[in-house]
Amino acid sequence: MIATAACTPEDDGKWEWCRVDELLNPPPDAAWESLYDGLWVTIQATIVGAIIAIVLGLVFAIMRRSTVRPVSWTATAIVEFIRSTPLLVQLFFLFFVIVPTLFSGMEVETQAKVAGFTGLGLHYATYMSEVYRAGIDGVPKGQWEASTALSLPRTRVWSSVILPQAIPRVLPALGNYVIAMFKEVPLLFTISVTELLFNANQYASTTFQSTEAYTRRRLLPGHQHHHRHPDSTVGASLWPPLNPSPARTGPTAPSR
């Protein structure tokens, strides 16, 4: 009955002695492996989120300057609404409502990534649109008038007169928001995108050594056992439970 071998997919749903065994004798390399996995997802989220935020922020900022009233109103409404509601709830909204409707065929994990990255990007796009707006407002009025005098088409005015002057001066502020966004990546663990904090969390709830896990997370990425089920620990210990129907992948035997 008491197996000492590593868990195999057949063990799922039975008495999981193998998992207890794994927990008591963690292979030393597993922690570092998962550390790099988590770090990688964090970097991915930051980069993808930043790209979305930088592009979409500019779009919002230009829309807000539009002479067509409905366009500028729409942009203002979107920006104000997103800016004053919590990212956490937006992530839930994207993950539970929008993404399952649009991409029903996807695996849950991919859905979580799509929701997480776009949610992060969209939220920070609204902050960045304010930054762009300040930059655009800082371009002297004479530049607009000169463009009109030269009867440049509107797209040309933006692309070769206004933006080349506005963007360089807002770059530092945009950078600050990218850093702020990096610090918000831990939120993605609530919709089960594997992430550093998620790993630390798992480590804490499997070993009850929260001190080590969260302290290290503040300085270094977390430390945990690779071969735990994401849903077996976090679902039990944290509100909200993560995936509605997590794709239960068999425990992967750590490579030594």
Partner 1 sequence: MLSDVWDYLPNLLRGALVTLEVTGGGIVVGLIAAFASGLMARSPLRVVRLISRVYVEVFRGTSALVQLFWIFFVLPLLFGWQLFPIWAGIIALGLNMGAYGSEVVRGAIRAVPRGQYEAAIALSLSPMDRMRRVILPQAWVGMIPPFGNLFIELLKGSALVSLITVSDLTFVGQGLRQLEGNTALIYTVVLVMYFVMAYLITLGMRFLERRAKAALGQRPVASKRPTDVLPLEAGA
Give the footprint of partner 1 on this chain (CB under 8 A): 81, 84-90, 92-93, 96-97, 183-187, 190, 197, 201, 204, 210-211, 214-215, 217-218, 238-240
User: What is the rounded CA–CA span in Å between residue 178 and residue 176?
Assistant: 5
Q: Which is nearer to partner 1, 150 or 180 (CB)?
A: 180
Q: Which is nearer to partner 1, 2 or 219 (CB)?
A: 219
Helix axes 108-137, 163-184, angle to 10 degrees: 140
**E strands, the chain, where?**
none
Q: Which amino acid is at 98?
A: I
Q: Which is nearer to partner 1, 185 or 193 (CB)?
A: 185
User: What is the rounded CA–CA span in Å between residue 33 and residue 59?
Assistant: 39
| Helix or strand (DSSP H, E) at 62 | helix 28-64
Q: Which is nearer to partner 1, 47 or 97 (CB)?
A: 97
Task: Using the CB atoms, write b or e for 8-29: b if 16+ within 10 Å.
Answer: eeebeeeebebbeebeeebbee
Q: Which is nearer to partner 1, 48 or 161 (CB)?
A: 48
